[in-house]
Chains A and B, each alone.
Chain A
């Protein structure tokens, strides 16, 4: 039986994906315990049950390859369960099996055929397959191609056309010389050069192209691996949270109360009593608030659901790097909105990898700690490694043209550290040589900011580094400051605003570097938000100012008017809107208008060329 031979209701598939993921996480955890205590029968039995459940679920759903592999792993476990201990070799084999099962689950989730893991499929004694055998490059790799006619054989125009057609079919042709139009005009080229983005790995991409190239010789080089992309808030289609029956009961009761309330409102309206109507509306507000809280709490999931894979990750990476690293977890019982939790996995693991690769030299401790603080969650990854050298970072930033030496000298110690989060600031080799940190920190920062949070760094040479992600706990409803810009409303999450001002016209002055607000304690640089957003508008005669933080500096965004703060339901943005810099969501206002929500730092970084901000003065 195959997955295609029968159809289960769509909900079953989503349930399968969710539960199979939990079983695989449990497997990873249990293997870690068994590695320390190979005779722990309780864990061995639990591991057997997890594999057995996976096998049954996969077989029921028709995912035959997954079921078959789980069956083989179950055989291995059954044998050692009888022997009463799990030897180290078997643990490695089971880990490899778990990795292949994870890959197959990813394939199923993506609607792809289950990937092969032939070595494991052939039998438990075979060599384990590694996840490195994946054929897809998530997010797409960037290739450079050179195509020339092979020494033997004649080349027709159709060969070139077939090849270019295949390139377009498999990926995105970013540039092509000669252009496809020239080929279409019957010009036979001597050589073709192209830049191509394609999700396939080099080997598979080469094989696909050679297949259609005929007498053409294709050379393919992967020039850039896929950028780490982090996506905010939107829960993937079909993702599930488990809701307790008690919570469902409370929701049903609240719905009942709302129905009663509607009757009360109608009665008050019928009587024409403003007093009764006001009283009913106040009660209605209270009920609505209660309902909102209950629904939001239903979306909350414990942090442990993503941190439970960290011990395995740390152990594998530490072993590969030849280091001895102890991982300590605390506060993982704290709960976050499911959408935030999913989006924070990548920055969290990135920070942990950085600590292993560049923070700790030979042995040390990584502490992952979560603390709730006034409605936000502070998620820290701290190591006791070599720390970062601020002066080395300043020097590197100046040398690479990110800022001038005088600007670098003016940076506070915190601002200097945050330089490692500038896009493109560091490569592994550079940072390892200078400061020992920084790989992909821009991706970590961007991911956290897209969630409406922000990133903080603390570090001293020889005293370790702490990467602190300050995250909102919920995304669905959040307080937003609405402003008017170019006649349209836009919003800022209030967590991203320092203050607001409505300065007197006399306080505004045009200096050499642009407008400033002359305040008692500072001269605040001002930028028209309409300029950043590319909206046709004049500098307002009585401007209002939203004060934000840009890489540790205060900066004022000039708007036409402050419309006020509201709790709004934030709609996540889908492709292609999620690709536009500075947008972190949207909301629909009471009058039906859309207000886009802006993330100030990303917006300012993206618009720095327009408004002449001092970044990357190369």
Chain B
């Protein structure tokens, strides 16, 4: 039975499979990031690597809420970022296989969902996050200026 880390991003519950997460860091100084597009709120150093801090809610098309003091580090060969989230709720078991629920989640509608005691959560993975980042970068205002 696999496990996911349950997070809040805006009004949405999000689960991230544990295997794709690096660590959770707390109270890191988030520094300004030059030329940052929307959703990129700064940068932190984690284990010697400089990572962008990205607001998960913005990436999912949600209104951001107050951030948790903790940052969730996603660490995969194709992507390494620190996610600023509304809250880190803890681990939950994927007791039922996550199911596709096309069409109900704006901007994220190919996501699979699974039930938790807090409500229905969408299961995110690195590939989906990367696609959202691609779109965010493609839409960045400086693209039109270069």
Contact = CB atoms under 8 A, between A and B. Distances in A.
Interface of A: 161, 165, 168-169, 172, 174, 180-181, 183-185, 197, 237, 423, 486, 488, 490, 532-535, 571, 573-577, 579-583, 586, 588, 592-594, 596, 598, 603, 605-610
A565 B30 CA distance: 24
B33 interface: yes
B31 A534 contact: no
B92 interface: no
Contacts of A580: 33-37
Main secondary structure of the interface of A (DSSP, over half): mixed
Contact of B34 (A169, A172, A574, A583): A583
A594 B146 CA distance: 26
Contacts of A532: 34
List 4 tightest A-B contacts by C-beta distance, closest first: A184-B103, A609-B145, A533-B34, A586-B50
A606 B35 contact: yes
Nearest to B130: A575
Contacts of A535: 32, 34
Interface in B119-133: 130-131, 133
B102 A490 contact: no
Contact of A534 (B35, B106, B137, B144): B35
A582 B81 contact: no
A383 to B, nearest CB: 29
A571 B49 contact: yes
Contacts of B106: 181
Contact of B52 (A534, A576, A588, A609): A576
Given A576-B81, A609-B145, A165 B102 contact: yes
B29 interface: yes
Contact of B146 (A486, A575, A606): A606
B137 A579 contact: yes
Interface SS of B by simple majority: mixed
Interface of B: 29, 31-37, 40, 43-45, 48-52, 77-81, 100, 102-104, 106, 109-110, 130-131, 133-135, 137-138, 141-142, 144-146
Contacts of A586: 43, 50
Contacts of B77: 237
A598 B77 CA distance: 25
A309 B40 CA distance: 41
Nearest to A596: B34
A592 B32 contact: no
A486 B33 contact: no
A181 B61 CA distance: 13
A184 B45 contact: no
Contacts of A577: 33, 43, 50-52
A184 B91 CA distance: 31
Contact of A180 (B29, B103, B131, B145): B103
B138 A174 contact: yes
A447 to B, nearest CB: 15
27 contacts: A165-B102, A174-B135, A181-B106, A181-B109, A197-B134, A237-B77, A532-B34, A533-B32, A534-B36, A535-B34, A575-B78, A575-B79, A575-B133, A577-B33, A580-B33, A580-B36, A580-B37, A581-B35, A583-B34, A583-B35, A588-B48, A593-B31, A594-B31, A594-B44, A609-B141, A609-B144, A610-B145
